[in-house]
Amino acid sequence: MGYLRRLPRFEYLAPRSVVAVCDALAEYPGEARLLAGGTDLILQMRRREVAPRYIIGLKGLSELAFIRPQENGGVTIGAMTTVRTIESSPLIRERYGLLCRTAAEMGSPEIRQSATIGGNLAGALPCADFPPALITLGAQVKLKSQQGERLLPLEEFFLGPEQTVVGPSDLVTEIQLPAPSPLSDGAYVKFHDRHAMDMTTTGVSAFVTLDQERRRFCDVKIALASSAPTPLRAKNAEAALRGQAFTEKAVEKAAALACQEAQPRSSWRASRDLRLELIKSLTKRAIRQAWEKAKAPPDGGRP
Amino acid sequence: MKHLLPVSLRVNGEPYDLLIPPWRTLLEVLRENLSLTGAKRSCQEGQCGTCTVLIDRKPINSCLYLAVEAQDKEILTIEGLARSAEVLHPLQRAFAERGAIQCGFCTPGLILAAKAFLEENPNPSEDEIRRAVVGHLCRCTGYFQIIEAILAAAREMAGKGAQVGH
C-alpha cells in the first residue's frame, strides 16, 4: 500500500469542453492523466503509483454529465455521470434495475457522490462493480479523440488490470445501453468486507431473459468481477442455461462452468481457492435472483 | 509549471480568495489555510469519513477532492453548522445529549453526512441510517448511540416541519 503522503506535484488543466480535453491530450501525449471523480486516481497518486506531469480535471465538463433516453428505447449515460446520479435516476431504475442496484451498493454515499461511471470503467480495476453489470446489459462505450469517435462493446474494452483500449489521446465520453427486452432482469451479487471504500473480493452479474411462458431461460449473460485480469464473460455457463428450464441442477451446472472459466488469483484479500468457492456460490445466487426478478412484474418501488 | 492558482471558495457562507497549488486537497486547504480543523485527516483514502464535508449540500471525502475543483462551490464544514455558539443544530444537540460523542474525532464527518442524508430522507428507518453512515468509522465504537442520535434528530427535525404520523 505504501505510506499515504501528500500528492505529488502536477500542473492542473481544466478544459471546458470535450473538444478541448481531446486537444489537451493530444498536446501532452503520455504525460497527462484524466481526473474524473478522483476516488481511485488520487489514491494512486498519493502512493506514487502514478505521478503525471499534467492532470486534466473533468469535473467541470457538464457536457458529459447526463442520462439521456434514446429513441430506440435505450439509454445513453455520459462518462462524468456520478454513481449517485445513476443510483437515483428514475429512468435507470425503471429500465435497468440491475445498474441502479449495482450503483446503490458501491462504496459509501461520499464515494458515490464523487465517483463516475467513466472513471469506474477507464480505471479498469478488476474489482470494479460497473463492468460486469454493464457487460451483462450489453453496454457499448464511446471513445473520442482528435482523430474522431469510435464505439465498441464494453466487453472488448478491457485488456488487463488497469489496462484498456483507451489510448493516450482518447477520452471515454459515453456508455450506451440497448433497450431492455421484456421479461428480463438481472442481479449483481458480490462479496466484500465492508461497504465503504469496498474492494469487491468477488462479484457476479447475471442478466436473464425468460421465454413467453416464463419457464425457460431464453437468454442469459453472466460476467464476473475480480475473477480474472479483466472483467470476464462466463460464456460456457451462459450457454449451459440457454433454452433450459430453471432447475437447481441447471444452476449448479452453470456455476461449475463459471468456476472453470474464471482465472482468479491469490492476493492478500483472498486466496484463489476462496475466490473459486465464492464464484460458485455467487453465480448461483445471481442466477436465482435474476430469474426471480425477471419473472416478477416490475415493482417500480425502491431498489 | 504554474504552482499557484487563484481559487475562490465559499466556506460556511464566507468567501475566500486563495492562491493555492493544484495538488492541495480540499482537506489540506480547509485545515492549513483556513484553520478550519473540524474536518479531520485520518485514513486519507476515503475509508474512514472523518474528512467529510458538504459541497453544495452533498457529502464528499475532502481528502480525495482537489481544492481547485471546489471553485465557486458552497462548502459546509462542522464549524458552519450551528447558528451560534448557543444554538446548536439538532444533530449536534442529539449527539451531545445521547452520548454519541466519545473522543469526538469521527463526529464532524458523521454529523455532516447525517445532515445531508436527512435532507433527502427526513423520515429514515434505522437500517437506512446505518447505510447512510457506512463510510464512517468510530474507533470508540459508539455506533449504537450514533444511530440513536441521528434517529432522534430526524424525529425532532421532521416534527418541526409538519405533523408526522410515523
List the B58-61 sheet strands across, edge first.
B14-20, B5-11, B74-76, B52-55, B58-61
Closest by CA position to A130, among listed A111, A151, A149: A111
Burial A183-215 (b: 16+ CB within 10 A, else e): ebbbbbbbbbeebbbbbbbbbbbbbbbbeeeee
The three cell numbers of residue A58 are 473533468
Domains held by chain A: number = 3
Residue A82: inside a domain, yes or no? yes
Tell me the residues of chain B between 33 and 52 that have a Cβ less than 8 Å away from chain A: 43-47, 49, 52
Which fold would CATH assign to domain B5-80? Ubiquitin-like (UB roll) (3.10.20)
Angle ∠(A118,A124,A125) on CA atoms, nearest 5: 120
Q: Report the residue of chain A nearest B43, measured CA to CA.
A: A4
Chain A residues whose CB is inside 8 A of the B46 CB are 39, 43, 107-108, 110-111, 196-197
- The packing angle between helices B90-97 and B143-161, to 10°, is 140
Residue A221: inside a domain, yes or no? yes
What is the residue extent of each domain of chain B?
Answer: 5-80, 90-161
Whether A158 and A243 map to the same domain: the answer is no
- Which CATH number does the domain housing residue A194 bear? 3.30.390.50
- Which CATH number does the domain housing residue A113 bear? 3.30.465.10
Looking at this protein, which amino acid is placed at residue A177? L
Q: How much is the mean pLDDT over chain A?
A: 93
Closest by CA position to A268, among listed A204, A202, A203, A201: A201
CB atoms within 10 A of CB A102: 28
Residue A3: inside a domain, yes or no? no
Checking DSSP bridges between strand A54-57 and strand A32-35, what pairing results, if any?
Answer: parallel
> Using CB atoms, which residue from B25, B59, B69 is nearest to A57?
B69
CA distances from A11 to A55, A59, A80, A191, B55 (A): 6, 16, 21, 39, 24
Whether A103 and A37 map to the same domain: the answer is no
Whether A22 and A72 map to the same domain: the answer is no
> How far B19 CA lies from chain A's nearest CA (Å)?
14
Query: For every one of its 166 residues, what pLDDT tens digit does chain B have, with 9 covering 90 and above?
Result: 558 999 999 999 999 999 999 999 999 999 999 999 999 999 999 999 999 999 999 999 999 999 999 999 999 999 999 988 889 999 999 999 999 999 999 999 999 999 999 999 999 999 999 999 999 999 998 899 999 999 999 999 998 754 444 3
Contact present, B26 and B7 (Cβ < 8 Å): no
**Which helix (H) or strand (E) is B123 found in, with range?**
none
Whether A72 and A172 map to the same domain: the answer is yes
pLDDT of residue B1: 52
Look up the pTM and report it: 0.94
Chain B residues whose CB is inside 8 A of the A108 CB are 46, 49, 134-136
Query: For every one of its 303 residues, what pLDDT tens digit does chain A have, with 9 covering 90 and above?
Result: 445 689 999 999 999 999 999 999 999 998 999 999 999 999 999 999 999 999 999 999 999 999 999 999 999 999 999 999 999 999 999 999 999 999 999 999 999 999 999 999 999 998 899 999 999 999 999 999 999 999 999 999 999 999 999 999 999 999 999 999 999 999 999 998 765 556 888 999 999 999 999 999 999 999 999 888 999 999 999 999 999 999 999 999 999 999 999 999 888 888 999 999 999 999 999 999 999 999 986 554 434
Contact present, A83 and A103 (Cβ < 8 Å): yes
Residue A107: inside a domain, yes or no? yes
Per the CB < 8 Å rule, is A197 touching B135?
Answer: yes
Per the CB < 8 Å rule, is B135 touching A6?
Answer: no
Whether A75 and A156 map to the same domain: the answer is yes
pLDDT of residue B62: 98
> Using CB atoms, which residue from A38, A107, A109 is nearest to B65?
A38
Where a domain ends, among A177, A194, A210? A177
**Which helix (H) or strand (E) is A103 found in, with range?**
helix A97-104
Instruction: Reduce the DSSP state of residue B164 to 3 states and report it.
Output: coil
Contact present, A196 and B136 (Cβ < 8 Å): yes
Residue A5: inside a domain, yes or no? no
Domain hosting residue A111, numbered range: 62-177
> Using CB atoms, which residue from A4, A107, A113 is nearest to B44?
A4
Whether A45 and A70 map to the same domain: the answer is no
Per the CB < 8 Å rule, is A42 touching B60?
Answer: no
> Using CB atoms, which residue from B2, B3, B132 is nearest to A109?
B132
Per the CB < 8 Å rule, is B45 touching A108?
Answer: no
Rounded distance, CA B30 to CA A222, Å? 46
> Using CB atoms, which residue from A57, A60, A110 is nearest to B60?
A110
Angle ∠(A54,A103,A81) on CA atoms, nearest 5: 45
Where a domain ends, among A34, A57, A80? A57
Architecture of the CATH domain B90-161: Orthogonal Bundle (1.10)
Q: Report the residue of chain B nearest A59, measured CA to CA.
A: B69
Whether A69 and A27 map to the same domain: the answer is no
